[in-house]
Amino acid sequence: MPIEAGGHPAPDQAADARLFLYDTTLRDGAQSEDVLFSLEDKLRILERLDALGIDYVEGGWPGAIPKDGLFFKEAMRQPLRHARLVVFGSTAKPGVPVAADGVLADLLAAGTGAVCIFGKSWDLHVQRALGISLEANLALIHDSVRYLKSRSDIVFFDAEHFFDGYKANPEYALKSLGAARDAGAEALILCDTNGGTLVDEVARMTRAALALGAPLGIHCHNDSGLAVANSLAAVVAGAVQVQGTVNGLGERCGNTDLLSVIPNLMLKMGRRTGLERERLRELTPLSRFVNELANRPPQRNQPFVGSSAFTHKAGVHASAVLKDPVTYEHLSPELLGNRRRIPVSEQSGRSNLVAKFQEFGIDDVRASDPRVGELLAEVKELELKGYQFDGAEASFELRARRALGQVPDYFELRGFRVIDERRLWSDQSRVPGAEATVKVRVAGQTEHLVAEGQGPVDALMKALTKALGRYYPGIDEIALTDFKVRILDGKGTQAVVRVLIEWRDRQRSWGTVGVSDHIIAASYDAMVDAVVFKLFSDGVAPAIVPANAFAAGAPVGSV
């Protein structure tokens, strides 16, 4: 049997057929409770998905969402190298002729030539949600697909609630698929809309749908934590199109995560997709890119692409991985654009520290070196006090290099003071303000300087960089990008806190940590690590100031 329209293979070819990847991040993924993509965000994501090699990108539902109408106008001007842009909507409304239906008109007006519509396959929904007869719903599906197919290149039919419908009335659920098939749909998409179907049920019902003789797709939600497993089971059973989203974004518990499905299909199951193998290295950057646009924190433990996916914290694991990664890794992280991490913690052994030294480019330190043992004892003592180096590797690198005598003394803190105030003006507005004073010893001189800022941390950082700026001009490049505080015990306002701060300059980003029963002191410790790490990484030597460095009459270190 030949390849059918739209590129989807007929069922008797499906066992070794090329699979088609269908992304719905811009539509279904945008229904995540905490996600709001701008028009520009959607265009940028479309560009990345196209570059990756995704076959179909569902852009949204014009008419239902005004922004989606604007998106299609802009997206159709954007040349795509691989992906086919798909517009999404529903069947026509009951009682409205398809030629006069506004929803179908909006779909055709998008101009994509590829349409995906959903219709009811669960008799409960037909009778209660639509309030029409079962036969009338079949006619609605058939007529809508046929009308769109007569005016479009590709029409996919999403059988909403197919699996729940099959459990309740298998004959009718299959009839809904048959109505779309007879009208010319390129593929019939089996939807686990409520996300409650189990893996064996998906496999069995997919095989039953194959009897219709049409290409099948799978669209799963993750309410039972099985979206990826169910999608793979459907492929094994004969489905040739897999729908999902980047990072599993979606309503409630999300959709199938394509970033888990793709490597499983290609690297574990040996199935062909539109992606070239080397493109898999783009999966981790794509995950971070979409999270950034969604203003969503990344899931560290996300399979394949999460920062913890190939992290080995236990000393036994780290030791084994350094000898042979296969001992504790099911895939090479480099295949996916990820990397192996061996963090340092209270569970670490000497192997973890040696691995970290190697990351820093220090290859001549062995586990038997007494300095490694001393550093390990120091790290465990610090973590007992509340330090955490998983997100503050710059702070750890400084301690490691100090253990080897590599970090010079750039300056010495003599003291600091912070005054924080909120001024209440006559119009009842409150203007935040803070003033910080820092005294440091640098290059044989005492610098005692003051600065103002929006808050105490901002003021303190400005005072410190002001005090050191004449000796180390490059430190004014440092910018704070993230600030997290964690209370470590239950002592209320007297609690010990851990402050994790992310920094960046023109070349890199790094994290530092400070722990204290005083939040400003903890912030200052993390701040000092940031400055020292910047100076050391830039290869700056400790400042040396000649006796006549400053103009006569100008007191050194004046406020």
Give residue 474's pLDDT.
86
Q: Contact 472/410 with Cβ under 8 angstroms?
A: yes
What residue ranges of the chain have pLDDT lower than 70?
Answer: 1-7, 9-15, 313-319, 321-322, 341-351, 390, 422-432, 490-493, 545-559
Render pLDDT for 217-265 as a digit per residue (tens, 0 to 9): 999 999 999 999 999 999 999 999 999 999 999 999 999 999 999 999 9
- 3 state DSSP class of 422: strand
- The Cα diameter of the chain in Å comes to 98
Q: Would the pTM of this model clear 0.85, i.e. be above it?
A: no
Length of the chain: 559
Q: How many angstroms separate the CA atoms of 420 and 306, rounded?
A: 39
Write down the architecture of domain 17-275 according to CATH.
Answer: Alpha-Beta Barrel (3.20)
- C-alpha 185/C-alpha 116 separation (Å) is 9
The residue behind tokens 């959903």 is: 118
Q: In the chain, what are the helix, strand and coil shares in percent, each to the nearest 5?
A: 45, 20, 35
Distance from the first to the final alpha carbon of the chain: 85
Are the C-beta atoms of 61 and 68 separated by less than 8 Å?
Answer: yes
Residue 154 — φ and ψ, nearest 5°?
Answer: -135, 135
- State residue 315's pLDDT score: 62
Pairing of strands 497-504, 509-516: antiparallel
- DSSP reduced 3-state for 483: strand
Sequence ranges of the chain with CATH classification 3.30.160.270: 412-537
Q: What angle do CA 25, 26, 29 make, to 5 degrees?
A: 45
Question: What pLDDT, on the 0 to 100 scale, is given for residue 351?
Answer: 66
| Whole-number pLDDT of residue 96 | 94
CA–CA gap between residue 202 and residue 507 (Å, rounded) = 49
Residue ranges of the chain assigned to CATH 3.20.20.70: 17-275
C-alpha span between 15 and 9 (Å, rounded): 10
Report residue 530: phi and psi, to 5°.
-60, -45
pLDDT in tens, 455-476: 899 999 999 999 998 899 888 8
May I ask the CATH class of domain 412-537? alpha beta
